[in-house]
Amino acid sequence: MSIFSVDFKVRDYECDLQGVVNNSVYQNYLEHTRHEYLLSRGLDFPTLTEQGIYLVVVRAELDYRKALRPQDRFRVTLHPKLYGKLRVIFYQDIILDNSELILQAQITATAINPQGKPIAVPEIMQKLVE
């Protein structure tokens, strides 16, 4: 069950010589959706960085089901879940306009301080999953 989504259209330059979206591009779609989600929750990276809080991806699991092709229209969905006090798992799907599942992902993120140490930021993590 998603709580947020962003619509996209494949651009020709995102495709490789085989005529399909390059596998690395899918992570851009997923990340853009997470950034838009953060903005919808009143969170943005520059402000968090000024506060010494860095939200970072620590694990990415992607299951590719089918390739996207030039001009395909699709939606990236997102459903976050808090995992302990330090992590948020973003469950994300890429779905073609005809409802066909293209990709499923689990992206695990955490907050770290400027020294790279994990930090518990309950109010921010809670805001991510409200």
| pLDDT (mean) for 4-29 | 96
User: Which position among 7, 16, 44, 97 bears the catalytic label?
Assistant: 16
* Choice between 93 and 122, residue whose per-residue pLDDT is larger: 93
| pLDDT (mean) for 44-64 | 92
Burial 108-126 (b: 16+ CB within 10 A, else e): ebbbbeeeeeeeebeebbe
Contact 78, 129 (CB under 8 A): no
| pLDDT (mean) for 118-130 | 76
Task: Give me the domain span that covers residue 25.
Answer: 4-129
Which of 74, 94, 88 minimizes the C-alpha distance to 27? Answer: 94
pLDDT of residue 92: 98
Question: Which residue is listed with tokens 């306009």?
Answer: 97
pLDDT of residue 122: 64
pLDDT digits (tens, 9 = 90+) for 57-98: 999 999 999 999 999 999 999 999 988 888 999 999 999 999
CATH number for the domain harbouring residue 117 = 3.10.129.10
Determine whether 16 is an active site residue.
yes
How many domains are there within the chain?
Answer: 1
* Mean pLDDT estimate for the chain: 92
Q: What's the CA gap between 99 and 76, in Å, rounded?
A: 11
pLDDT of residue 1: 66
Assess whether pLDDT exceeds 80 at residue 125: no
pLDDT of residue 76: 98
Reduced to 3 states, what is the DSSP secondary structure of residue 103?
strand
